[in-house]
Structure formats: C-alpha cells, structure tokens
Chains A and B, each alone.
Chain A
Amino acid sequence: MHPKSINLESMSPALIEGADVCVQCGLCLSVCPTYQQTGEEIQSPRGRVMLYKAAAQGLTDELDVVLEAAYDCLDCRACQTICPSGVKPGELALDTRVALQEGKPANLAQQAMLEVFKYPILFDVGNAGVRLYQKSGLQKAIRGSGVLRGMARKHGGLWAKLHLFEGLIPSREVAPAIRLRTPYITQHQGDYRGTVAFFLGCVMNAVFSEASSASIDILARNGFDVILLRETTCCGAPHIEEGDFNGYRQVSLRNAKLYGTLAVDAIVTDCAACGAELKKMHKHFKDDPEFGGLTSNISSKTQALSEFLKKVGLRDLPEDLDMDRRKVTYQDACHLCHAQGVCNQPRDILKQNPILDYQEMQNASDCCGSAGIYNITHTETSMEQLDKKMERIRATGAEVITVENPGCLLQLDYGTREFEVAAEVKHTAILLKEAYQEADRRKTIKG
C-alpha cells in the first residue's frame, strides 16, 4: 500500500467540499464501530473526514497514513445515517482510496482478486470448486481435524487468514450456481403485474444461489416476469471499495449497456452491496454523454428485494398458518440500511411472514464486521464486531438470523460456528420461500 506519484488535484475539491459540510459535532462518533473500539479520533468518521481534507489541502504529506485511515473505515455508513448535516464519510473514504491510488488496485494480489470479479464464469467455476471441496469430504476432514485453527492460534498471520477464509465457507452444502441454469425469462404466475430484471450478484450466484433462486421464484409468484441476463458482470462494489476506479468503470459500463435500455419496471437485487452500487452508479457517469442516460436509468430503477416486495405488496401469503413460529432476528446489512435507507421494509416483510416470530435485536444496524473484505484485511477489528453481534443475537434467543446481503450471510454463518450460537443463517428470500411452500403444502393436503 505505497502510493506513488500522488496527484490529489483532481479529487481535492470534492474531498474538501465533502468535508466542509461537517460541523464537527461528533455525533457520528457514537455509531462508528472503529471509534467505539479504539477511542481514536483518526478512527472516527469526523476525524477521517478532517484528515482527507487536510491531505487534500496539502497540510500533511504522509499520504500512506491517510490512505490507511481510509481503509480502516468499514464503509458501513452508519455515520451517514446519523449525520444531521448530510456528510458522507463512507463515500469519502472510497473517494480517498480512489484518489490516493490513482484509480488502480493497491497491489498484485488485489489486482488478481479484482480481475476475477470481471469474469462471471470464474464464479461458476469457484462454486463448483466449493461443491467439490464439500462433497469430497475435505471440508469435513479439515474442520474435524482442527488443523487450521491450531495453526492459526500458534502462528497467526497468514494461517489466521486462511482459517478465516476457510471458515467463511458455509457448512451446509452449497447449491450449484444459478447463472447458467436459469432461463432468460422466468414466467410470471397468476395475474401479470409487470416485468423486472433480476441483477445477479457474484457471491449470491455462487454461495447463495438457492437464495437468488428463491428471490426469482417469489417475484414470479407475485406476478412478475423475471429477466436474468447471463452476461451480467459484477456491480463493481469490490473494485471501488479497493480504490480501483478503472476496474469499476470497466464492469459498470458493461452492465450499463446490458441494463440501461432494458424495458423493465424495476431492476431487483437480493444483494445489498449490488443495490447500493447500482443506485449510486449514475453519480460516477452523470457527465458522460454515452453512459449518462444509461446509468441514470439503472440507478433510478434499482430496488432491493424487500424494498420492491414491500412496495408492490406480497400476494397469496396467508396471515396465519396455525403453527409454531420460528424465532427470527434481523441484521441490517449496512449497504441496505445505511447506504440505501431500506430499513423498515425487510422488517415489515419478516413480520408478515407466517412461519416466523420476529424479534428485534439490540443495535441491529451496527455492522457485523464483514464489510466487503474487511474481515480479511482487518481481521481483529472485524472479529470484535462479530463477537458483539453474536452476543446480541444470542440475547434475542432467535433460531434464525436473516439478512439481505451475501457478505453478512458469510460473516454471520462463520460467527455462529466460531462463537457457538445455536442459530441458522438464512437470506430473507429463503424464509419467504419457505412460507410459501408451507402454505402450498397445506393447500395440497386440504385439496
């Protein structure tokens, strides 16, 4: 992470302007995970914003420290929700990363990783790899032997990362990727209500494909034709989060061509990160004569799954199935609640779900520590967050934890195993699909 030949000029006005809105009241300190853990001003939204500005003004030339501060931010954006003045420290962190790295990934490993996101087929292959790893019994053997845990405890460092990386793979058998096995159009059921495009996220497609399948099913069941574009590439969130604006631009423009002129009522996604990125897409291309219009269409049409379902209203979901309801608690994905402002809709839908007994968790909108690849780059901080989160989940007595984002799903799934919390982790779409299935089953029995 050593920035060379830094040229802040192009970004400086934006960084200074963004920070100038801040009145330094410090309210953001009360919701910032890293400030809560350290008490350090440089680990707070206010401090970081002041530092970006100081760097942009040339008050410090220690730009590696500034860049590090920008990377220490989880980009959870809780500060953006609470800020009365509308400062956006999370977005400014990304702007700073882009500016200080001049739009390029920081190192070779990151470059390679970000390259992977450009080719959806690699995710299908990765998915197959994970399935092989699970089916061959290797996962069971490695976990059973505790070898990674042992090495991680003994040597830390790379072993700890490897232990975490392996631990993030769910224990349940991962379903095959859906990209290649889902038709271009999934036909609506019942009365036709419209046509939507389903934006397929990378990790959703690979590790949580059953959730995306459920999302598509629910949309069709609710009267929507669902278009799935197999050529869809990553939304660009991983790129821009690592300061790789060039990579972001590349994948975004490919998606802009695919979705920009699509005649659909909405672009629906069950991935909070994709939703946040697509909604913000236009911001980066608004002055572009070719892509300005296309990205504007995408940004205005994109909706999170629960946001869309709440708006159109769920169809044929019975109020009561006269059964023991499973206790469920909801974790706000930062990119759903803080970045998109979608906080009540998922809760409303969960409360409407007849197989669930909804329990609100304390501080549900605090980040779980996943934050893109933050859990891998800043493992210690991330695990402290996760520990706190697990404690709060335990306090609800919930049997199921649900969230609408793959990163959080992975992190929470890992958390339940690592901190021994007896709860299943499921995407909200799965729980909804289960409710529909249960309703169907009863109808069949009766019928």
Chain B
Amino acid sequence: MSPSQLASTPLDQWHRDAGARMVPFAGYEMPIQYGSIVTEHQACRNAAALFDVSHMGRLRFDGPGSVAFLDRLLTRDIRNMPLGRVRYSLICNENGGILDDVLVYHVETPSQNPYHLMVVNASNREKIIRWIEPLLADFPEVIVTDRTDLTAMIAVQGPKAMAACRRLFSYDPTRLKYYHAVITNQFSKPALVSRTGYTGEDGLELIVRAEEAPRIWENILLAGRDEGFMAAGLGARDTLRMEAAMPLYGHELNETIDPFSAGLGFACDLDGRDFIGGDALREIKATGPKQIRIGLLPDGKRPAREGCEVLDQAGNSVGVITSGGPSPTLDRPIAMAMVDASAATHDTLQIDIRGKRVDATRTDLPFYKRPV
C-alpha cells in the first residue's frame, strides 16, 4: 500500500507538528514514537501517557435484535450485561480459531435508546464487517454502523491519569468502576469515557467526535504537563502491553489459535449458549489445548523477538516466540511464546535467537503488575 492510500487519524497533524516518526500500520499512518520509546513508556508507568488509538474500529449495534445477534457472534455472554458495562470478548470461527478480540460496551445515552458498541482491532475491521454481514440476514432488526471515521479514540493511561482528568472534566471519572463507561458532555460535545486500557495501568479511553479530538488531546496533555504527561506512540504501547502480557492480534492471537491456548478461557461462556465456535470450544476445553501461551525470561541482555524458535532442553522444537523485546520497567528482555502443552510446564526452555541458543526461564504472566 502506498502512503497515499493510507488513512490518517484526526490527530495526524498534531503528531506531525510534534515531530512524530510516522509509520504505516493497519492501513493508517500512525506515530510509532515522538522521541524515545523508553521515555514514553516510563511516562506511562510513572505519570501518564496519551495514545491516539483512533485506528481501532468502532462498530455500533442498534435495534431490538442486537443482544441476540451479539450473543450469536461473541464467545462472551453479554445478554445480562448492565448498562454502562464494558466487556472483553472474542469473536471465533466455527473451529474456535480467534477472528478478533474486542471490547463490547453497553452504552446508555441521555436522548436515545441504549446501544452496543464494539471496538475491534484496526487490522481486523474489514474482516469483521465482512464476517458480520451474512450473519445479519437472520437478524433483520439489527442496524450496524461503522463509526470509526466519524470519531477519534484517545487513551490516557498511567497512575496520574485519573487525577488529572478529574480536574479537567466536569464529570468525575473516578466514579467509573474498572470496565465501565459513560457518555458525558465534558467538552460541550458528547464523549464516551470508559475506564479501560491496554497498558497495565489505570486510566481512561475516550471516544469523541473526530473534529473535537485535537482540542481534547491538547487539554489533557496540558492538564498533566507539570506531572510529566507525554504523548506516546505505538512503540511504547507495544512494550507496555507486553509487560502487562496482554495478547495482541497477529501475535498471540490469530485464526489458528483458540482462546484456551491463548490463556483467554475466561472470555468464553460455554454453558447454555449457542454461539459461533461454541461446539469447537467445548471440545477444546474438554480435551485441553494443544498449545499454551507462556512467559519467558531469556538469560542475558539480548532480546528474543517474535518468530524465534523455542526448544526444550533436549533441543526439540516446542514452539515460537509471539512477542518479545526489552522490558523498560524490568530492564531485561521478556518474551511471550506459544508452546506445545507438554512443554508449557518446563521451568527452563531454550530460545534460538538468530542462530544462538539462549536459556530462558518460564515465568508467570503478567511480567509487570501495577502496585495496588
């Protein structure tokens, strides 16, 4: 795809003015970093960081059949999800392979009927829309609207994020519980504010009208300037989510990986439901997954990267690194791997880092958990 075919987010000009290094990502030109990835990463762990996540897809479901439709589509039971709740779920194919991991919001609005909003991965947006379309034939009362281009999405993540937003917003966001969302009129225009994120830190994600995004972004940065708030790019977002051991589509998740292998069994409600992939998932749960996602700490300083082969101590290939790199917080390399279930309990494994074998210790996930 040539740069001219790439989409840009409503914050594109801000990123360029700030000197961001822009890269093609999932059909968008996105900032990978403004300066140092490590500095941006540390700003998120110590103060707060702002991320432009407008490239994530936002699909809205209206109409009386929405709950029944989503119940057919999702691995998670959202039928009794209260208004204001957000729930992590998966969309699987008939074999139980993961088509996407999504957040489903049950949104209460002041003036309209409640609706459901689904945030999908940028790289999967077209695929999910194509997946949904034929299924809708059985649910004539459901109206799906792609809201991605009309809106922007901003994540504010870090230990000081909530306090700064509390000063800035007229609505006190600390009233929101984790994985809850509310529509507010903070900026004289409606914004959907949720206590969610992808960094392992406390914080918010805001979905706002596209034209409002630069002003809101600037205001939040300004509100936290003295405390060290920074804009952070996709580079820091990746090192942060790796430390928090959050799976990333295309790395820990794909259509050949099932939720139990990925360690996402909690996101599968198998009892008393008829959903796509349900039968396959019940079978996988009964027999146990063939592969399992594990955490590894490679010896030494050299990072093991995605694609490196994982071997047991006898030298047999048992899996592959799905994400790996240096952890700025732990100041050492970390890695996630998909390995054969039989090898997942080994305390030590080996990683082939471009021809050199390095010992690695299996470790519990996540690598980093924020202090309570």
Report if A and B associate in a common complex: no
| B binding-site residues for A, Cβ under 8 Å | none
| A binding-site residues for B, Cβ under 8 Å | none
